[in-house]
Amino acid sequence: MNVKHAMILAAGLGTRMKPLTLETPKPLIKVKSKNLLERSINLLENYGVEQITINVHYLAAQIEKFISCVKTKVKIIISDEKDLLLDTGGGVKEGTKIFGKNPFFVLNPDTLWLTNYLDEMKSLEKIYLERKKPCLLLVNKRLSFDTSFKGDFNLKNNIVSKDTKNNFIFTGLQLLDRSYFDPIDKKVFSMNEVWNNLIKNNKLLGLESSQKFYHLNTQEMYKKVLSLDFIY
């Protein structure tokens, strides 16, 4: 069975992408024919996801307007963080309440999500269902288009860890369920708190991606990605 639920994190301030994000929220920045949010929605829809929550905060009205017009069969629900930005962990905890006990993908839209990630999403789901633990899609930093990226994690036998020689970068895609937020009794917090709790007990899984990793985290990187011929 395909996972039917997902959340896209679209509430960030896009600080490192200024001045591009002064008047346009980062998820709506266009890469050739589509903006980042549309590419994220398309990937999830192509996988078979039927319901997506998208959180909003910075320039929220623009994102809400885009969502009201986007052509998709997926049901999209807004998680409103206009009054208080909940950070990544708090945002996911709040935005996925409607999913109940169902597993869900969480997607960061500032990765360039192309259709070649669909097979890796299937593999991510397979690991999650077999081992009943959250799973991150990671990539060796050698495959990062941005060569300045430092690693976030280590990965061995699909077990995620951290030390001084982290060689793997988080791609921005993960699969989990709401039970892993239970130990955190606060409203605003980072996903790192969830991950660190899991890493302590060797309960955070990872899948190594074979894809070239394009992360639009700076204006310079955005310009470089725009110059690539294979992106349409």
Where residue 157 sits, what CATH number does that domain have? 3.90.550.10
Is 90 exceeded by the pLDDT of residue 2? no
The DSSP-derived string for 96-138 is TGGGTT--EEEE-TTB---GGGHHHHHHHHHHHHHH-S-EEEE
Domain range for 71 is 5-226
Q: Say if CB 117 and CB 39 are below 8 A apart.
A: no
39 within a domain of the structure (yes/no): yes
Q: Give 20-62 pLDDT, tens digit per residue.
A: 899 999 999 999 889 999 999 999 999 999 999 999 999 999 9
231 within a domain of the structure (yes/no): no
Query: How many domains does the chain divide into?
Result: 1
Residue owning tokens 């050698």: 142
204 within a domain of the structure (yes/no): yes
11 within a domain of the structure (yes/no): yes
